[in-house]
């Protein structure tokens, strides 16, 4: 414990930046507040362009040695980081729940184990990177994945550590160094990860963490000429600013920008399954980029679907996310709660009917909401709310279902529920989405490509796709002659 250390849910957390293997303070701070009860958790170092530049400089200085480290040794250190995550899993879970309000049971059973898995998977996958050599008129082609350089990773608040390590792990496994900028509404587990990485033997400067507001340090990071990759998860407007900032240096970008995903329910579907999947969209208080917030139901079963949905959703328990029985916790921040409420109020004013919810539960939470009688071109159908708000529309046939599903500017994911395999094949082939789930939801494999189409993003990560992004691919062509062999 030091004079700088915060105690959060009984866990010591250092609120300073982590730059070049050392804790670094800033002249200013910002207050981190728990969404559970509005209590101030402590003052966090508020980064400036000076700290951002220092972090990039540290990453640049550490890059040559880390890039030259054999893949197997890099993998060994990443596995040691995963060991550290598993050792401190309970601490990470309670700190993140306190910091962002997501369910403690989910952090314990799913999210934090996935954090460790991120490191193990990409460590092991890096050892498999290989492309069979091939011949061109007697010349040999050899493909290699070369480390790109310092990477800036900018991550959101809804699943802070899991989404950060989804980027950090492949970047490090590829031989790059990293500057992580966590969301200012949920910065704490990023600081704990820096400690874990250092204890695992990650060299100084390979991972750096700079906290603060994107409006104050974002440009200093994304416009820096020494940054070789930028990966961002967040909103479309912020992505546009990042792209403009990165453009002068042509810095490659990977952007995951959320969506307005549909859930299509056909009359031949298992309605109980369809209802279960629809109610699941309230997970994490609706603060999930992949959530299928637009429910599209074939009109012949819409009434029965709605009846079952209302009954199922009515059994959800809303409350303290630290309690085992709680299904829906608080919204991350009062500003986000106001935003959600504004969307619903404007929708109702425009003619939408509230089936359930439609109101604040208290100053921290919003009731699970379902709206019907919404126009396809309305704000509530077209724009991402990022809260526990779903809309329900009906369709007459397959063509109309696809038309409604694809009629937004997004294309991150889609979910389809049907008992007809041929229909599933037809419809999934017509949908615009980076991921389509059929009779299931949120089944994710790190080997699979992940990303969105249209305004849902640029690029894909996962498996080899991650290394294609975080590396410079090189093809070496060697002639069969010209060697001075003295064997």
User: What pairing do the DSSP bridges indicate for beta strands 177-181 and 207-209?
Assistant: parallel
Q: Pick the catalytic residue from 91, 96, 151, 289.
A: 289
User: Is 96 in the active site?
Assistant: no
Q: How far apart are CA 207 and CA 98, in angstroms?
A: 24
Dist. CA 477–CA 142, nearest whole Å: 6
Please state, in angstroms and as integers, the Cα–Cα distance from residue 141 to each residue in 472, 474, 477, following that order: 16, 10, 5
Task: Name residue, tokens 């504004």.
Answer: 342
Residue 413 token pair: 């994911």
User: Which of 96, 256, 298, 461 is the catalytic position?
Assistant: 256
Residue partners of 220: CB distance under 8 A and separation at least 6? 49, 52, 53
Residues ≥6 apart with Cβ < 8 Å to 3: none
Active site residue 299: no
Contacts 24+ apart (CB under 8 A), 137-144: 138/479, 138/480, 139/477, 139/478, 139/479, 139/480, 140/477, 140/478, 140/480, 141/475, 141/476, 141/477, 142/475, 142/476, 142/477, 142/478, 143/473, 143/474, 143/475, 143/476, 144/473, 144/474, 144/476
Active site residues: 256, 289
């Amino acid at each position: 414990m030091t004079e700088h250390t915060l105690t959060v849910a009984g866990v010591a957390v250092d609120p300073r930046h982590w730059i070049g293997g050392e804790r670094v303070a800033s002249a200013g701070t910002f207050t981190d507040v728990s969404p559970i009860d509005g209590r101030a958790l402590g003052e966090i170092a508020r980064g400036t362009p000076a700290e951002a530049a220092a972090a990039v400089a540290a990453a640049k200085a550490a890059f040559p040695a880390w890039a030259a480290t054999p893949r197997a040794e890099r993998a060994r250190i990443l596995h040691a980081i995963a060991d550290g995550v598993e050792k401190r899993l309970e601490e990470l879970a309670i700190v993140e729940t306190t910091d962002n309000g997501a369910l403690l049971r989910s952090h314990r059973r799913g999210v934090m184990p996935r954090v460790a898995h991120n490191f193990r998977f990409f460590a092991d996958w890096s050892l498999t990177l290989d492309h069979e050599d091939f011949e061109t008129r007697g010349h040999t082609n050899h493909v290699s994945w070369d480390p790109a350089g310092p990477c800036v990773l900018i991550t959101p608040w809804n699943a802070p550590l899991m989404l950060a390590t989804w980027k950090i792990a492949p970047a490090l496994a590829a031989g790059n160094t990293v500057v992580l900028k966590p969301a200012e509404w949920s910065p704490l587990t990023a600081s704990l990860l820096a400690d874990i990485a250092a204890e695992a033997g990650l060299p100084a400067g390979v991972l750096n963490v700079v906290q603060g507001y994107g409006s104050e340090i974002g440009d200093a990071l994304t416009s820096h000429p020494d940054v070789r990759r930028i990966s961002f998860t967040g909103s479309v407007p912020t992505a546009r600013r990042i792209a403009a900032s990165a453009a002068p240096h042509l810095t490659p970008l990977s952007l995951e920008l959320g969506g307005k995903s549909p859930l299509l329910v056909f009359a031949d579907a298992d309605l109980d399954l369809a209802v279960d999947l629809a109610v699941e969209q309230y997970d994490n208080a609706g603060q999930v980029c992949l959530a299928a917030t637009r429910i599209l139901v074939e009109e012949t079963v819409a009434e029965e679907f709605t009846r079952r949905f209302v009954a199922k959703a009515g059994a959800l328990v809303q409350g303290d996310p630290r309690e085992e029985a709680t299904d829906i916790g608080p919204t991350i921040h009062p500003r986000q709660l106001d935003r959600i409420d504004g969307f619903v109020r404007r929708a109702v004013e425009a003619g939408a009917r509230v089936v359930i919810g439609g109101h604040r539960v208290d100053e921290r939470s919003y009731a699970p909401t379902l709206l019907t009688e919404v126009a396809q071109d309305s704000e509530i159908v077209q724009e991402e709310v990022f809260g526990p708000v779903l809309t329900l529309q009906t369709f007459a046939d397959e063509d109309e279902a696809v038309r409604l599903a694809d009629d937004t500017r997004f294309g991150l994911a889609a979910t389809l529920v049907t008992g007809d395999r041929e229909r599933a094949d037809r419809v999934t082939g017509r949908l615009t989405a980076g991921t389509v789930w059929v009779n299931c939801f949120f089944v994710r494999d790190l080997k699979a490509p992940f990303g969105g189409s249209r305004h849902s993003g640029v690029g894909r990560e996962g498996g080899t796709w991650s290394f294609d992004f975080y590396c410079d691919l090189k093809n070496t062509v060697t002639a069969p002659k010209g060697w001075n062999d003295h064997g």
